[in-house]
Structure 1
Amino acid sequence: MKLSSFSPVVRRRVVVTGIGIVSPIGIGREKTWEALCQSQTGTTDIQHADYLLPPSLWNDKKISQEEKQKMKQSLIEAMPCKVAALVRSQTTAGEPSFAPTAHAPRSFAFSEYCVAEALRDAGLLSPGAKPSLVVEDLNRVGVNMGMGIVSLDDVADVALALHTDPLHPHYSKIHPMFVPKILGNMLAGVTAIQYGATGPIGSGVAACATGAYCIGEAAVWVQRGKADIAICGAAESCVSGIAVGGFSRMRALCTKYNSTPETASRPFDKQSGGFVMGEGAGVLVLEEYERAVRRGAPIYAELRGFGQSSDAHHVAAPHPEGLGARHCIERALEDSEGVGAADVGYVNAHATGTIGDRIELKAMEESLGVDRSAPLYISSSKGALGHLLGAAGSVEAALTALALRRQLAPPTANLHDPCLSLEEQQQKKMCLIPHGTAQPLSTPAALSTSFGFGGINTALLFTQVN
């Protein structure tokens, strides 16, 4: 039997042409970047969290404001962790409030802002009060947006309605949009609906690696010709009593610095005491390289490699030897088809201020520390941002692309006593960038790592574009 002859599959180049960020240290890409480079922190007393109580309690007009405050205070007093990194409510006219509504949780509002900022940055939005996508074919626009945890507050509201008095369940209090509000793919759905994007759609769920996973998957679409443009990233908002209580019971959250919240998130620091829960969103616009060049789009970086691995070890703890972390970094290099370990001059690390920090450094040493002539600069954005959970990977990928484009590595806020001494750093050819000012770079490649519960590991490799 004669076999048919097919042309080989050609892998297309993928570049970042737009970035949108909402974070605890700034609304928008530039405000976040500026604050990050100045070691500002977004962690504050959890008293400032507006949505600790479920909406059905906070919005109940039969409950006085005084009683609501007592409920909130009782909840806070019950929690061992009393800090969080919050996107603060905006008070200036014209600025977004990011308040949850009956039809959409707070994370949807974060995402909507970021998508618009990223598309506008990429030059793909028309002007006017109701901007639309300026593209030739909406069938060539894909959307891959996710979240690590669905709206727990909406689940709590339904539970209260049905089970507060089991003999008299209040079925009618369930909002008709309850189910769409808690579906993990709905960020992608509402984004595609808003902009009429009818290309491929997806919504990866990978715990704290969700944002990075969505970006990596979207990049494959563009590489394989399934889409020419991809809107991708993640959003998260679960600074609520349920989430804080759940993570506190795991002893994952920092309780050591309740009296000095701004110092609580301490990646790579000997005095770290757990992670600080944060909220926000990060969105990238990925585009096929030739198309971006033809239209004169701004290009931040090329997304050259996407690495994935599984620890296959534990539901919450990283592999003690960092095998999964090392493997995903090595696979990102392999996927790049040409970028070597020594070419990577900066890593925006997943580091959360937990036992995983040292393990991640071991993985970097084994995967990136071979035959280096220049030090590998390393920092973690979580010192400033807190841990944005599902959105962490996309926000940090965006910051990595900015660092590469601007050849400037942001510092690690609150890193004063590194877990590696200066002598150890020199020996391993690593440089942990401490609290203070940003570090000038001279590197053609940078890496962003993201790891999640369940042993999910991802690495995104970016390179400069000539």
Structure 2
Amino acid sequence: MDRRVVITGLGVVAPNGVGVPAFTNAVKMGISGISHDRQLQDLQFSCQIAGKPEITENMKLSYFSELELRGFNSTGILYGVIAGLEAWADAKLPSNGPEPDWDTGILFGSGTSGVDKFRESIYKIDDLQTRRLGSNVVAQTMNSGISAYLGGKLGAGNQVTTNSSACVTGTESILMAFDRIRSGQAKRMLAGSTGESGPYIWAGFDAMRVCTFRHNDTPEKGSRPMSASASGFVPGSGAGAMVLEDLESAIQRDAPIYAEVLGGNVNSGGQRGEGTMTAPNSAAVQRCITEALKKAGVKGKDIDAINGHLTATSKDSLEIENWAEALDRREADFPYINSLKSMTGHCLSGAGSIECVASVLQLYDGFIFPNINCEDLHPEIASVINPSCVPSGLIIKNINLLAKASFGFGDVNACIIFKKYKN
């Protein structure tokens, strides 16, 4: 028998807010976390703005010991551990005991891990200083470093692993955790993803000329999803996390419940048709959405709001068309839709999970957050949906069903359906 799966804890490290309270306020108020990055300027990047979470030294010491921080410079693991442990505490779960918790697993995604540590290691190796690399190089640079760190801090005894699917990573991790709980293989899973920050992560995208270069002097205006004046995405970083739990277990321990996960779907366009390494196959995108609805047991007409992928690139118009086709809803009948990237930039492998946290908060608190920098809706989008479906200001409204999708390099897709929890 399939079990009902609910969300009992949230954690987030985002460019516009570290911690759920700060993030919630920023999302509601339309506060941007994008700023000028002096390092990118010095390195002569075309795009010299970025979304980067602000982590203080005191905050680091709240989650890591001084010994752990010695030689530690993996921002991805840093962000993921902070977000993951916040979600765990938010779910009112106990700290790790002397024995493994066989009912708890971790599925925490990452695109890359420890790039700065790799760079540091390469220089030491080239300088014949291999013995001075330190004992934590492997833990910081292995792709599963984030799940390994969290697994040790929480004593998780169920599956502890890391997935990696480009920009789809976070949404996929939540769906994988959902499947494990629903099938009875775990009572709870800490799921999410993290994305590192810095020039060695962002340089490739700058070289591809997919990042904006027109707003180096006006950073907060730089990320413009669905806008006619969008000129590319703004690189970002951070992590999102949530505790998914068997409903029966959550009720037994009187846990807070933010929302219910009804189901979803993951697929690929196979880089066939119009799909390539960097472009989506529309047939696959539409199929991913329709199959997600089917698996969740809902209809397209039932969706109240969409949190899109929407990166402020030329593919935004195509994404709206794909949503309209998959839901069979157009013009004023289209649901509300928003893009968190207008405030955070594109957090890459961390994007899906951060955006899922924002999606769940909208269901739980009864609001639809604004799309900033979209006062000039792209005419191709305006020809498909009514501009009123793209809110430019905060809307206070109880919504029941929200669809969240992520689309990534490699022509991969994920769509998840969240529902407001009702007894």
TM-score by length of 1: 0.83
Deviates more, 1:265-274 or 1:83-92: 83-92
Partners of 1:86 and 1:279 within 8 A in 2: yes
1:101 & 1:331 partners in 2: Cα distance?
A: 47
Q: Within 5 Å, which residues of 2 pair with 1:64-463?
A: 74-75=42-43, 78-90=44-56, 101-103=70-72, 105-125=74-94, 131-132=95-96, 138-163=101-126, 169-239=128-198, 241-313=199-271, 314-319=275-280, 322-336=282-296, 338-370=297-329, 374-420=333-379, 424=383, 426=385, 431-434=389-392, 437-463=393-419
Kindly provide the CA deviation profile for residues 16-73 of structure 1, in whole angstroms up to 9, marking residues without a partner as x. Answer: 01100111111101211111111110111111xxxx5xxxxxxxxxxxxxxxxxxx86
Change (3 A) 1:223 1:133: farther
Structure 2 equivalent of residue 43 of structure 1: 34
2:172 & 2:359 partners in 1: Cα distance?
A: 15
How far is the alpha carbon of 1:259 from its aligned partner? Answer: 1.2
Change (3 A) 1:113 1:352: same
- 5+ long unaligned stretches in structure 1: 1-9, 53-71, 126-130
Partners of 1:342 and 1:371 within 8 A in 2: no
Kindly provide the CA deviation profile for residues 248-292 of structure 1, in whole angstroms up to 9, marking residues without a partner as x. Answer: 111121111111111111111111111111111100000001221
Amino acid at match of 1:317: T
How far is the alpha carbon of 1:363 from its aligned partner? Answer: 1.0
Structure 2 equivalent of residue 128 of structure 1: none
Change (3 A) 1:245 1:307: same
- 5+ long unaligned stretches in structure 2: none
Aligned residues: 416
Amino acid at match of 1:318: A
1:362 & 1:133 partners in 2: Cα distance?
A: 50
Structure 2 equivalent of residue 64 of structure 1: none
Greater gyration radius: 1
1:179 & 1:355 partners in 2: Cα distance?
A: 39
Amino acid at match of 2:161: G
SS at match of 1:206: coil
Change (3 A) 1:423 1:45: closer
Amino acid at match of 1:329: I
Partners of 2:52 and 2:197 within 8 A in 1: no
Change (3 A) 1:203 1:361: same
RMSD, aligned CA: 2.6
Structure 2 equivalent of residue 4 of structure 1: none
1:118 & 1:94 partners in 2: Cα distance?
A: 16
2:113 & 2:360 partners in 1: Cα distance?
A: 27
Partners of 1:345 and 1:442 within 8 A in 2: no
